[in-house]
A = this chain, B = another copy of it.
């Protein structure tokens, strides 16, 4: 079960009715945050979400609207009693950039760990598998696919055939490897084939690309930037490295995702809903994001 909340849905600068694009994932009491622009901690409070459980913060890129809320958020997490380390993930340049902007937060009561993505390869964070992928923006930018794996069903016949002692059957349904009475047992000795994972793909700021389509393949939810609702803004979108609603919808359709949420709206876009029908003509399961919009994705 994966809870997903859009903390903010704005691009470029916060509006008084829309904070900057940011997304919170909760799984088993642990949280992952994607991006943290100015005011993200305020929107957390408005959305009624907790900051203290954030174990990992993934940055898409280092434009101000995605990062300047970090020092305040970290300080507030410290004020709330966080002492466990927090991992910060992002493109090359991460460590210096975060250290620079955190000049204002020098004495945190927890450790910051950095995972600077010199290579875009999958890694595991808690229960999630994170796969960063290249986006196409005016500066180096990364999208993230986050998957919650779903283990295979327990298979009594397989367990018996592999001579797995009954005492550790339940443990092997959660743990990969167990040592019992001097012997090693692995979960694949008692479980069937892995079942369909829950898959979220998140991508701002970018032009549409094959890399995004590939990363979002069959995702349960694609959260994708839709900077402009109006197709006449294509030249601007190309110039600035952003997407139209219609481009995001085509991407979602071609990737075969279950659902598309648009986010990272231009501050000039007063009512994103006004451009939704056009996107839905291309991909019917398109919805506009808004600050606080949330969903719980469950294993099927």
Q: Is A272 an interface residue (CB 8 A)?
A: no
| Chain A interface bracket (under 10, 10 to 19, 20 to 34, 35 or more) | 20 to 34
A64–B104 touching, CB < 8 Å: yes
Contact of A68 among B12, B65, B71, B97 (CB under 8 A): B71
Instruction: Specify which of B13, B16, B37, B41 is in contact with A14 (CB 8 Å cutoff).
Output: B41
CB distance from A259 to the nearest CB of B (A): 29
What is the total number of copies of this protein in its complex? 2
Query: Does B104 lie within 8 Å of A67, measured CB to CB?
Result: yes
- A191 neighbours in B (Cβ, 8 Å): none
Q: How far is the CA of A100 from the CA of B63 in the complex (A)?
A: 14
Q: Is A42 an interface residue (CB 8 A)?
A: yes
Give Cα A103–Cα B63 distance, bound, in whole angstroms. Answer: 9
CB-based nearest B residue for A18: B42
Residue A275 CB within 8 A of the other chain: no
A101 at the interface (CB under 8 A from B): yes
Q: Which of A12, A63, A104 has the most CB of B within 10 A?
A: A104
Instruction: Indicate which residue in B39, B68, B97, B103 contacts A42 across the interface (CB closer than 8 Å).
Output: B39
Interface residue A222 (Cβ < 8 Å from any Cβ of B): no
Interface residues of A in 60-97 (CB under 8 A from B): 62-65, 67-69, 71-72, 75-76, 79, 96-97
Bound complex: CA A37 to CA B72 (Å): 9
Within 8 A of B (CB), among A101-117: 101, 103-105
A-B contact pairs, 20 of them (CB 8 A): A13-B79, A14-B42, A14-B72, A16-B45, A16-B46, A19-B42, A38-B38, A38-B42, A38-B69, A38-B71, A39-B39, A39-B42, A42-B42, A64-B105, A65-B75, A67-B104, A68-B68, A68-B104, A97-B103, A100-B103
